[in-house]
Structure 1
Amino acid sequence: MSSDDLESVLEEGGLSPYQAAAFVALLDLGAASARTIAQTSNVPDPRIYDVLRDLEAAGYVETYEQEQLHARVSDLDRITEALASRAERFSWASEEVEDRYERPHAEIGEARIVGRFETVFDHAREAIEGATDRIQASLTTGELADLAPALAGALDRGVDVRLSLHGEHEDLPSPESLAEYCSEARYRPLPAPFVVLVDRSELCFVPHSGSVNEYGVIIDDRTHAYVFHWFFVLCLWDVWEVYYSGRATEPPITYAGLRECLRAVEPELAAGRTVLASVEGRWTATGEDCSFTGRIVDCVYTTQSTRTDVDSTIAAYAGQATLVIDTDDGERRVGGWGATLEEVEATRITIEAIE
């Protein structure tokens, strides 16, 4: 390293240009008079005395009188340790810059864009561990293995867990083994993104591995999550065959989605049967929790007048979807996620009996 380069580094370490020049000159001279140091370092004569005193105060040199002011390098270990400490701090700063770059760095409201899959995956695991109501996830078999403990814990807490699995069919776990991790699973043979939706508000998304774009999205917002919910339902769930289901086939049957419940209940009502149900949700006017039991007397949805027997997908119920339930306190109109027209937004509906 040249003297100029060394001076530049010392300046980055906190010395002024004159202090760095004088110190490098003194390293070469060993010990010298102030005048000799000034001539060697090109520090102006009137300034050299102040420069040496400042270096002495900082512990870099020590001065002494010998007919005129002289200086020599002070405790070298102390100096090199100080420089090494600064180097460590710069190294730490470099790591911190990289770490902060990899953290969510573009934020709009509650939507964050990140550059590392691991960041999204770790957030997804934390969201699953805190889930209380519903999880919808699109995973490879490898991602399922990594999230299995968190999913199993959520299922034990009574969370409705739905898995859309993709990848090679031969890599799928057996349907029986999935009973530990989910309420229901479906298999999609096509490539799919990493998606985890939790409790109708938290979303973790990464494009599938074949995408040219490498980024991830973390969202904690009901409106954005609702859009991805429909992507999950229409593209990753409803059109694919059931691979495993732990759902009961006889009452009581619990639904985490109102539209699925409506689809199952409509033919029962059409056949003249009595359907008793209990509802957990919240009042749309106040946001307060509510629960009640009653008899389903009607179902209303946007495409009802044009419905045909072949309309079996959930897309037929994509508009307004309402269950009318007769309770001891009168009729209640119950909607699903994002309900605005109804007085109740249901989070869980249980069909208690069909008579």
Structure 2
Amino acid sequence: MDTAELRRALEDAELSPYQADAYTALLRLGSASATELADACSVPTARIYDVLRDLEAKGYIETYEQDSLHARANEPQAVLTSLRGKAERFTAAAAEIEERWEQPAVDGHMVSIVKRFETVFDRACDIVREAETEVQVSATAEQFRRLRPALATAYDNGAIVSVSIHSDSGTTADELPDTRAYDGIATEVRHRRLPAPFIVLVDRNETCFTPHARSVNRYGVLVDDYTLTYVFHWYFQTCLWEVWEPMYDARPTEPPLVYADIRRFVREIEPLLEDGTTVRVAVEGFDTESGEAVSFAGTLVDVSYAGSSTNGEPPLSQLAGETALTIAVDGETRTVGGWGAVIEDVEAIRLTVEALT
């Protein structure tokens, strides 16, 4: 760093141009009279005494009388400590500015657009740990490995965890996590053999999204909204889940059978109902008029959906519209819908088949 750069740095720290010029000159001279120092720098003689007093007050120099006013630079340790402290604060401030620019707070925002994948991933970990009902994940094998601790917490919370592992078409089974890696982590795992976005959907209200690695545009979307998350849910169901075969399935085959998705419930339970099986089901959800939480148990009476009934499981396309259950409870019937229910009595967030007889 040359003298001019040193002067500019001192000015950025706390000194005026005259003070920085006089101090750097005094460092060069060691000690000097006021008039000698004025001759060695750009400070006018009429101003040099004020400049020296200011530098002494700041601790940069000391003055003494020797026929005339003289000055010498102080031991620089205090100055160095001050300058280094300022440098650290500037560095910390720069890092904070960068962080706040790249990671706007999600609180109070329905949708936030961010630039870094790590911002999206960190947010995904946070919301997954708080999940209580359902988690849906689209991730690469490596992203899944990094997300495992958060998914384990959600699984322990009782959430249904559906994971779509995506990879290139040439990926072999040996390159995917061993099935034991899903124990206590996921309820069901499927393998999509095409690139896909990173998506995490939690409890019908929160979404974390980034385009797949080959996308031209690099950005992230953080959503805290019921309706927008429902849109991402249907993308997940149709493109990342429905057409791919399970590679891991920890769902029980005997009651209690737990569902977070009414359409999955209908596809698997309607054939049993048509065969004359009595289905005892518990419902947890919200009253569609009051919004209050409700829970009850009863006997499944009927299922209805927009498509026509078929033998076996109805395809997802027939369940994309209105899908509802009719449940007998204490001599009355209640209608139950799924995510987004409007005309039914209850929007179910969890359905549990308690008994099949």
TM-score (norm 2): 0.89
Aligned pairs for 1:33-182 within 5 A: 33-104=33-104, 109-167=109-167, 168-170=171-173, 171-175=175-179, 178-182=182-186
Aligned pairs for 1:12-23 within 5 A: 12-23=12-23
Percentage of pairs with the same residue: 48
Q: State the match for 1:210 in structure 2.
A: 214
Paired with 1:101 and 1:192, the residues of 2 have a C-alpha distance of: 27
Paired with 1:187 and 1:39, the residues of 2 have a C-alpha distance of: 79
Q: Given the alignment of the two structures, is residue 252 of structure 1 paired with residue 256 of structure 2, yes or no?
A: yes
Q: State the match for 1:281 in structure 2.
A: 285
Q: State the match for 1:261 in structure 2.
A: 265
Q: State the match for 2:29 in structure 1.
A: 29
Equivalent residues, number: 353
Q: Which moved more, 1:239-248 or 1:176-185?
A: 176-185
Q: Secondary structure at the match of 2:82?
A: helix
Cα offset for 1:270? 4.3
1:315 to 314, 317, 323: 317
Q: Which moved more, 1:329-338 or 1:184-193?
A: 329-338
Cα offset for 1:190? 1.0
Amino acid in structure 1 at the alignment position of 2:5: D
Say whether the 8 Å CA contact 1:111–1:219 is kept in structure 2.
yes
Amino acid in structure 1 at the alignment position of 2:191: Y
1:228 to 232, 247, 252: 232
Say whether the 8 Å CA contact 1:136–1:162 is kept in structure 2.
yes
Cα offset for 1:307? 6.0
Q: State the match for 2:6 in structure 1.
A: 6
Cα offset for 1:188? 1.0
Say whether the 8 Å CA contact 2:268–2:313 is kept in structure 1.
no
2:354 to 348, 352, 355: 352
Paired with 2:352 and 2:105, the residues of 1 have a C-alpha distance of: 42
Q: State the match for 1:238 in structure 2.
A: 242
1:298 to 294, 297, 302: 302
Deviation per residue, 1:208-261 (Å, 9 max, x gap): 121122222222222221111111111111121122222233443221111211
Change over 3 Å in CA distance of 1:30–1:328 after alignment to 2: same
Change over 3 Å in CA distance of 1:330–1:106 after alignment to 2: closer
Structure 1: 5+ residue stretches without partners: none
Q: State the match for 1:332 in structure 2.
A: 334
Cα RMSD, aligned residues only: 2.6
Q: Secondary structure at the match of 1:180?
A: coil
Paired with 1:174 and 1:27, the residues of 2 have a C-alpha distance of: 67
Structure 2: 5+ residue stretches without partners: none
Q: Given the alignment of the two structures, is residue 200 of structure 1 paired with residue 204 of structure 2, yes or no?
A: yes
Paired with 1:46 and 1:332, the residues of 2 have a C-alpha distance of: 95
Change over 3 Å in CA distance of 1:44–1:107 after alignment to 2: farther
2:344 to 312, 328, 342: 342
Paired with 1:234 and 1:295, the residues of 2 have a C-alpha distance of: 30
Cα offset for 1:272? 5.1
Paired with 1:253 and 1:79, the residues of 2 have a C-alpha distance of: 71
Q: Secondary structure at the match of 1:23?
A: helix
Change over 3 Å in CA distance of 1:87–1:322 after alignment to 2: same
TM-score (norm 1): 0.89
Paired with 1:273 and 1:287, the residues of 2 have a C-alpha distance of: 32
Change over 3 Å in CA distance of 1:173–1:329 after alignment to 2: same
Paired with 1:139 and 1:230, the residues of 2 have a C-alpha distance of: 17
Change over 3 Å in CA distance of 1:41–1:80 after alignment to 2: same
